[in-house]
Chains A and B, each alone.
Chain A
Amino acid sequence: RPSGLDSWMVTKEMRVGKYELGRTLGEGNSANVKLARDTVSGQSFAVKIIDKSRISRLNVSLQIKREIRTLKVLKHPNIVRLHEVLASKTNIYMVLEYVTGGDLFDRIVCEGKISEREGRKMFQQLIDGLNYCHYKGVFHRDLKLENVLLDAKGHIKITDFGLSALPQHFREDGLLHTACGSPNYVAPEVLVNKGYDGAASDIWSCGVILYAILTGCLPFDDTNLAAICRKIVKGDPPIPRWISPGAKTMIKRMLDPNPMTRITIAGIKANDWFKHDYSTSSNCHDEDDAISIQDVYEEEKTSDSPTVINAFQLIGMSLFLDLSGLFETENVSERQIRFTTNKPVVDVLDKIKTVLMEMGFCVQKKHTMLKAIQEESTRKGQGGLSVTAEVFEIIPLLNVVELRKSHGDSCLYNQVLINSFMREIIKRIGHMMCHTISLQVQQLLR
């Protein structure tokens, strides 16, 4: 981006892999962040540089690996994306999306409070990003104005998942047990050091952020830490009279000191004040699946007759030629189901469509392919699920039907759920099958 260009001249040039490092964007306890330019594509990135000697002393190497694995699964327009990781003998470099517009803290300090209309837009994006992370099983645990960045278009991007905890860090009672976060944003249950629900305490911190966006001040602030803590535990911050009733209710519901009665993301998304002018950020957790050669030739099809495949395309369906199993925890054979049928294509697709619609999926038909999405709204904020069905003709009157589920999803809960959907579809269309391709259908039906 042009704004970063001049800075290349003034700093001593340093190269890491294909990246040229530029000026320093930020300095922290265990890491520095520098602007970097990909010398191949010319794109700018923010590179977080971690000194290995420091982390080995702090014994946080496990945490670093965890942070990388955590960020890897987060691909959302409102979350700062981790592109790759580099390392040398002395440093670790995390190549992150570069966000040009600074953070929300600076914005509010410089320009004061933000109008309700614009503030709500930011809040909606914040909730979208947070909802996505929670659905992936990742909690932020350190949400604050400084961790909410603004891009050139004013869209928000949440950053710094350094303190995030994944579900494996729960103790047996299912609650998180590490106190962390910045004092002003910390939920009362975190302060008193009981185990806490990561989702609820993230909501609290978002409530603090919403308050700051709309008023220009922090809800719980004082000159010393003890006083701040007292205010947090008491809850009920003063809300200026000029805040609209809808916004006021939202803030109060989010800053409910009792995590059990505090509003949930589903509750926020169902709220009228929140829903005003709301459109979901395009969820792109399927983007890896999207780019396939398959899609390219799909567009060329014009009729409703199935794609006729030749022997090589048939052979290509072998599970043994798909090496993605090396990189996935999920078995390749569990991702898709194929069966043959001698029933007319239209009948098969109609039946699958009916079954999917009865399960609450929104189904789109394109030639001989069905794309079914279960929107997150019907799933109480759990994120979308998707299933694709496609018909291929091997020889006249013998078609292969392929059912694919969304994959690359780390959320076990969703995988279990979608397996049960697949099972249901197979059961209901079983009478149309001649032969099931591979064993997993029998396994599913068992």
Chain B
Amino acid sequence: MLAFVKRFSLKRTKHPRGYEDPQVLASETPFTVNEIEALHNLFKKLSTSIINDGLIHKEEFLLALFRNSSMQNLFADRVFYMFDRKRNGVIEFGEFVRSLSIFHPHTPEHEKSSFMFKLYDLDGTGFIQRHELKKMVGALLSETDLGLSEESIEAIVEQTMIEVDTNKDGKIDEEEWKELVAKNPSILKNMTLPYLKEVTLAFPSFVLDSEVDD
């Protein structure tokens, strides 16, 4: 009985909250079990960089991406929000893998497109509204220290709304978004990470403690 308890508690500490069985994750994503084990090595590194609790906090996410844990940026917030599917302020392992899987080169374009639409739909209304687009252009320009005049920003937003909002209701719906993406596939370029095809080579530590049966 004691042995059982010991074993049980050992297992608990080994896999923190939010850990999911690689088998299950592999069945739902383009990743293989080994690739998920490799991603777990990356996840362990990211989720213990500031707070050692096996969960990725926003500061850890920023630190990993930009070597800076305290920066403020609309897009970084949005990406974190999209990864944090349960909306509880942290990224768990399952959320990490499922979100990254959208960025896999083999994931169909429509999934990437839909992820990006939601990312840009700041208020979560199901539309990208004019003011949201303007806010994002503003965020990009402030990131770039590009002091454009109010009119120039208006002109950029106006030009794009004319191009994209084909039913002229002042907001971009998913259909209009799909047409835009079909015309300009480069819009999705951030949505594909070629690195995801090489995770077993990038994080090879998993080979020593893989739990895949023969």
Binding site for B on A (CB under 8 A): 17-18, 52, 61, 64-65, 68-69, 71-72, 82, 84-92, 288, 291-294, 296-297, 310-328, 331-333, 338, 340, 394-395, 398, 434-439
A89 to B210, CA, bound (A): 6
Contact indicator B65/A323 (Cβ below 8 Å): yes
Is there a chain A Cβ closer than 8 Å to B133's Cβ?
A: yes
Beta-carbon contact of B193 and A310 below 8 Å: no
Q: Are the CB atoms of B189 and A293 closer together than 8 Å?
A: yes
Asked whether, in the complex, the Cβ of A293 is within 8 Å of the Cβ of B204, the reply is no
Q: Flag if B34 contacts A86 (CB, 8 Å).
A: yes
A53 to chain B, nearest CB (A): 12
- Chain A residues within an 8 Å CB radius of B184: 297, 310, 312-313
**Do B188 and A293 touch (CB < 8 A)?**
yes
Minimum C-beta distance from A6 to chain B (A): 26
Check A435–B146 contact: CB distance below 8 A: yes
Given contacts A314-B140, A327-B195, contact A297 B190 (CB under 8 A): no
Q: Give chain B nearest CB distance to A326 CB in angstroms.
A: 6
**Can you pick out 24 interface pairs between chain A and chain B where the beta carbons lie within 8 Å of each other?**
A52-B208, A68-B201, A72-B198, A82-B201, A86-B32, A88-B212, A89-B210, A89-B213, A292-B189, A310-B184, A311-B157, A312-B133, A312-B160, A313-B184, A313-B187, A315-B120, A320-B65, A320-B75, A323-B79, A326-B195, A331-B67, A395-B152, A435-B144, A437-B144
Least Cβ–Cβ distance between B131 and chain A, in angstroms: 13
The verdict on B205 contacting chain A, using a C-beta distance below 8 Å, is: yes
**Bound-complex Cα distance A60 to B17 (A):** 33
Contact call A84/B200, Cβ cutoff below 8 A? yes
Which A residues touch B157, using CB under 8 A? 311
Once the chains bind, are A325 and B66 in contact (CB under 8 Å)? yes
Q: Which residues of B contact A333 (CB under 8 A)?
A: 66
Which residues of A have CB within 8 Å of B186? Answer: 293-294, 297, 313, 316
Question: Which of B146, B194, B214 is A291 in contact with, Cβ under 8 Å?
Answer: B194
Interface hub of A313, A319, A320, A331 (most chain B Cβ within 10 A): A320
Taken residue by residue from 145 to 160, chain B's Cβ proximity to chain A (1 for < 8 Å, 0 otherwise) reads as 1111000100111011
- Verify B156–A311 contact, CB threshold 8 A: yes
Does the CB pair B156–A84 fall under 8 Å?
no
The listed residue (B37, B136, B145, B146) touching A87 by CB distance below 8 A is B37
* Residues on the A chain within 8 Å of B64, using CB: 325-326
Min CB distance A30 to B, Å, is: 14
Contacts of B160 in A (CB 8 A): 310-312
- In the assembled complex, the Cα of A311 lies from the Cα of B156 at a distance in Å of 6
Q: Which chain B residues lie closer than 8 Å to A313 at the CB level?
A: 184, 186-187
Residues of B within 8 A of A395 (CB): 152, 155-156, 159
Question: Which of A52, A85, A297, A338 interacts with B144 by CB under 8 Å?
Answer: A338
Q: Is B211 an interface residue (CB 8 A)?
A: yes
Chain A residues, CB < 8 A from B193: 323-324, 326-327
Contacts of B73 in A (CB 8 A): 318, 320
Question: Does B42 belong to the interface (CB within 8 Å)?
Answer: yes
A320-B79 contact, Cβ under 8 Å, with A17-B34, A311-B137, A333-B66: yes
Q: Contact check, B75 vs A321: say whether CB atoms are below 8 A apart.
A: yes
- Give the CA-CA distance A331 to B62 in the complex, in Å: 12
Identify the closest chain B residue to A289 (Cβ). B194
A72 B206 Cβ-Cβ under 8 A:
no
5 more CB-based (< 8 A) A-B contacts, given A92-B207, A317-B144, A340-B144: A52-B208, A85-B204, A315-B75, A325-B65, A394-B156
Distance from A161 Cβ to chain B, minimum over Cβ atoms (Å): 13
